[in-house]
Amino acid sequence: MTHKSRTQGPKIALFEPDIPQNTAAIIRTCACLGAKLEIIEPCGFLLSDKRFKRVVMDYFNKDEIQFYQSSDQFFKKKKNQRLILMTTKASKSYINFKFDKNDTILFGRESAGVPENIHKLIKNKLKIPMQNNKRSLNIASSVAIILAESLRQIKFI
């Protein structure tokens, strides 16, 4: 596998993540694939949590993650940028979507997604198609699928 340094590319944003192992796995995925990670606080755990540390290993560099104190701060910063919300409530599949290198792809809280007011703020909503009667994938798996596809489309991998 080759190692490329990226200066620009899609960003993964997590809305108030609440499972430390999932966030740690996403940090590793973003670090390995060269994507910027953004976290909208509050988190449902402390970054010193042993479950977080066990999974994140030495991939965690707090200086490489953009933290937002609130969703208001996040949306103010992203005012003129394209946001994509990954949600099981979407009607459009990620397979039929054209990703851009400057996209910010937002994933909701594992336990509850994002609130309705945030759904209303974002035009582009996508889902990962699943077999009938299946609720959702693990968020870390979903991030890996979507990040890999967006990087493939913009020719970063």
Distance CA 147, CA 141 (A): 10
Q: Is the pLDDT of residue 157 over 60?
A: no
List the domain boundaries for the chain: 11-153
pLDDT value of residue 3? 46
Q: What is the pLDDT of residues 106-156, one digit of tens each?
A: 999 998 899 999 999 999 999 999 998 888 899 999 999 999 999 999 986
Work out the pLDDT band at 32, boundaries 50, 70, 90.
confident
Q: What is the pLDDT of residues 56-105, one digit of tens each?
A: 777 677 768 899 999 999 999 999 999 999 999 999 999 999 999 999 99
Strand order, beta sheet including 11-15: 65-68, 36-40, 11-15, 104-107, 83-86, 124-127, 92-93
Q: What is the mean pLDDT of residues 17-26?
A: 91
Residue 28, classed as helix, strand or coil, is helix
Question: If we measure between CA atoms, which residue out of 96, 92, 84 comes closest to residue 13?
Answer: 84
Specify the CATH architecture of the domain 11-153: 3-Layer(aba) Sandwich (3.40)
pLDDT value of residue 65? 87
